[in-house]
A and B are shown apart, each in its own frame.
Chain A
Amino acid sequence: MVSGSEIALLSVFVSTIVASALLFVVIVVKAVHRRRMRSFERRYAVYLRLLAQQVAVKNPRRKLDSAVVTDPAFLDALIDLRQTVKGPEVEKLDGLVDELGLVAHQEKLLHRRWPPTKRFRAAVALAEMGDDSSTATLITALEDRHQEIRVQAARGLARMGHRPAIDHILQRLGAETPWVRARFGDTLIRFGNAATEPLVRYLRAGATLADPEGAVEVIRILGAAGDPEAGPALLDALLHATHPEVRLAATSALGRVGGPTAAPIVLAAFDTGGWRLRTRAAHALGELGDPIALPRLERALSDPDWWVRRNAASALAKLPGGTTVLYACLASKDASARDAAAEALAAVGAIAESRRRAEAGLARTDDLRLLALVEAT
């Protein structure tokens, strides 16, 4: 009969063996990994030198063996070098890519189902090389099951400026996670004004109702691109969208996109959506620069929300006649309005100007008010 202490001893013994075995495995794996990394770094350095010679010399003596296309160290060296040079050197590297059949090899890797790391690396390589022959592969990769590969595919298509890809990317927008949506958005911005029409079409097709998250991203892109052609669609979104985030996004985007009808409509929408909309509307009116906004912005200096007051004051500082309004506000009975006005005037260097005038004995009433307010805080 086995006693309790014998069982305990046996347990300790077995645990020690198992722990030692695990430790041994970890040590071996780390050692193998270190060796692989050192070998990768050595190969990378060799390829870099070889590629640099290919690029720098008119008739390089040593041709590259096509077997290098299977080595990820070669791919990394090629991509890194491609980012370092411009002009004829990039064309030489592209010529090498063609000669070695690099694109075809990476496409084969991407079409496999496994392993994901090699597939991802292949997607990055195709995106970096930006070869027109890989557009079909990259468009297919927009539907890949791995989100990182989808993002690389979009990136590559944007680098190539392949316009037909815009609609493919847009179609995926609503179904994507927020991270992928934002990355897709960044790639659409790269297309510049070429993306305006498809994006506007997307909005007008009912995205603001059917896909508000996608619509918010599209509106962000239109704002970042700043193409005035997007103005009418953004105004529509502000006036007619029911989703609050869509209206907020449209308000911000209008500040960048502008247009002659933007300021009156932003003004009309000012009080239709809570403090967040008022905040963005105030900022947008400052960007639009239309003095029609002066009265409403002056009233907004007394808004119950701090952020609205701050944005209204900053906006006034940008409008013709706005600083006059800000100076006048320094005499207001509303302390919050006075503070907001003083802060905006300080941001445009008014305090320094007032001090200079005071020192020269030329201070105006407004200067004295401003300096007194600054002293008091």
Chain B
Amino acid sequence: MADTKRILIADDAATVAALLTAALEMDGYDVTSVGDGERAFEEGATGRYDLVIIDQLMPGLLGIEVIAKWRAAGNDVPVMMLSAVDDEYTVVNSLQLGAVDFVRKPFNMQELLERVRRNLG
């Protein structure tokens, strides 16, 4: 029996966290949710997660800063960036830091689930 994949959601918006948690749990994933950049970094650094879905604009550290810190510490957890801001700097920077995907808010839930499945291989 395949192990259940673990996903970390880092987003300070309660609506996004609730929606993603409900959808991903229904899809059979084990989901943890945090609401700020510092906690996201600490939680992601534990190495427990198969995928992280992270918002760009959060209190504390920005999503892009969290990814940079993980990479600097040798943590290569796959990351999907979620953002209402899709300027070239944010998109290119997050992909250069190793984010595997970039999803703009507001998002289509089914499309996001498909991307999660694809990014988890």
Chain A contacts to B: CB under 8 angstroms = 44-45, 48-49, 52-53, 55-57, 77, 80-81, 83-89
Contacts and interface: CB of A to CB of B under 8 A. Distances in A.
A56 B108 contact: no
B109 interface: yes
A85 B107 contact: yes
Given A49-B18, A52-B18, A85 B23 contact: no
The 7 A-B residue pairs whose C-beta atoms are closest, nearest first, are: A56-B23, A52-B22, A87-B108, A52-B19, A48-B18, A86-B106, A80-B15
Nearest to A76: B15
A56 B109 CA distance: 7
A84 B19 contact: yes
B98 to A, nearest CB: 26
B91 to A, nearest CB: 18
Given A45-B14, A81-B19, A55 B109 contact: yes
Contacts of B26: 53, 56-57
A84 B108 CA distance: 9
B13 interface: yes
Contact of A86 (B13, B16, B18, B107): B107
A134 B70 CA distance: 50
Interface of B: 13-16, 18-19, 21-23, 26, 105-111
20 contacts: A45-B18, A48-B14, A48-B18, A48-B19, A55-B19, A55-B109, A56-B22, A56-B26, A84-B16, A84-B19, A84-B105, A85-B19, A85-B106, A85-B107, A85-B109, A86-B106, A87-B109, A88-B108, A88-B109, A89-B108
A86 to B, nearest CB: 4
Contacts of A52: 15, 18-19, 21-23
Contacts of B15: 48, 52, 77, 80-81, 83-84
Contacts of A83: 15, 106
Nearest to A92: B109
Contacts of B106: 83-86
A45 B13 CA distance: 12
A56 B110 CA distance: 8
Contacts of A85: 19, 106-109
A49 B22 contact: yes
A45 B14 CA distance: 8
Given A48-B19, A49-B21, A52-B22, 10 more contacts: A48-B15, A49-B18, A52-B15, A56-B22, A57-B26, A80-B14, A81-B18, A84-B13, A85-B108, A86-B108
A89 B109 contact: yes
Contacts of B110: 87-89
A91 B108 CA distance: 11
A351 B14 CA distance: 50
A80 B18 CA distance: 11
A348 B14 CA distance: 45
A88 B113 CA distance: 13
Contacts of B107: 84-86
B4 to A, nearest CB: 18
